[in-house]
């Protein structure tokens, strides 16, 4: 018995149906992401950060929080590298920059891994604690310049870290 070939119209119809399913699935994912980001302190930063990661299209809330925590880690590593550059160009700030290096290193080696582990193991409270510490550390770095009577060359960098960590923290709180 010979198989009957599908008509071109049937094939076009099936392709159309598949496209619609994929389109509405993507719309639902984006709608979910937007609803989550609306509940954070910085909708635009949240949306930009989450949508930049291709894993976001299939992520649940924990997955989205992990994406933002990973972005915190990347920003922290970039901040440490920025501080190293400042140490070369601003030796007068050595004491403060050494302190900032220490607090950012602690955030990246202790606080962020704590958050990742806690979220991965279904314990968001400890994840929130880790990310809250990142915010405190960025504030501590910033305030130390004033304690030494210096203007901070890191205000924008520290504020960016605080903003991103606060987005992560808000997402993690939704899991509590």
- How far is residue 79's CA from residue 71's CA, in Å, rounded to a whole number? 12
pTM of the full structure: 0.84
| Average pLDDT rounded to a whole number, residues 145-159 | 97
Residues near 115 by Cβ (< 8 Å), separated by ≥ 6?
69, 72, 126, 127, 128, 130, 131, 168, 172
Average pLDDT over residues 7-17: 60
Q: What is the CATH number of domain 36-174?
A: 1.20.140.40
Residue 23 pLDDT > 50, yes or no?
A: no
pLDDT for 12 equals 60
71-115 pLDDT, tens digit each: 999 999 999 999 999 999 999 999 999 999 999 999 999 999 999
Q: Mean pLDDT over residues 41-45, rounded?
A: 98
- Cβ contact 167:45 at 8 Å: yes
Q: Which residues contact 37 (CB under 8 A, 6 or more apart)?
A: 43, 46, 47, 50, 167
Percent of the chain with pLDDT over 70: 84
What local confidence, expressed as pLDDT, does residue 4 receive? 54
Predicted confidence at residue 30, as pLDDT, reads 87
Helices (H), 90-111: 94-106
Q: Give the pLDDT band (50/70/90) at residue 175.
A: very high
Torsion angles phi and psi, residue 7, rounded to 5: -75, 155
C-beta separation of 98 from 122 below 8 A: no
CA angle centred on 54, ends 48 and 56, rounded to 5°: 70
| pLDDT on residue 21 | 45
Q: For the chain, which residues make up each domain, given as ranges?
A: 36-174
Sign of CA dihedral 159, 165, 171, 176: negative
């Amino acid at each position: 018995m010979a198989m009957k070939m599908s008509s071109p119209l049937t094939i076009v119809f099936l392709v159309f149906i598949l496209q619609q399913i994929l389109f509405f699935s993507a719309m639902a994912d984006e709608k979910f992401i937007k609803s989550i980001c609306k509940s954070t302190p910085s909708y635009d930063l949240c949306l930009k950060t989450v949508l930049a990661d291709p894993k976001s299209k299939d992520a649940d809330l924990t997955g989205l929080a992990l994406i933002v925590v990973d972005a915190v880690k990347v920003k922290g590593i970039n901040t440490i590298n920025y501080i190293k550059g400042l140490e070369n160009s601003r030796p007068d700030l050595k004491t403060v920059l050494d302190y900032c290096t220490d607090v950012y290193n602690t955030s990246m080696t202790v606080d962020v891994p704590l958050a990742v582990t806690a979220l991965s193991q279904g314990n968001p409270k400890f994840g929130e604690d880790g990310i809250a510490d990142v915010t405190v550390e960025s504030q501590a770095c910033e305030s130390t310049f004033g304690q030494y009577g210096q203007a901070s060359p890191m205000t924008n960098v520290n504020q960016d870290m605080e903003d991103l960590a606060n987005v992560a923290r808000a997402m993690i709180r939704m899991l509590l």
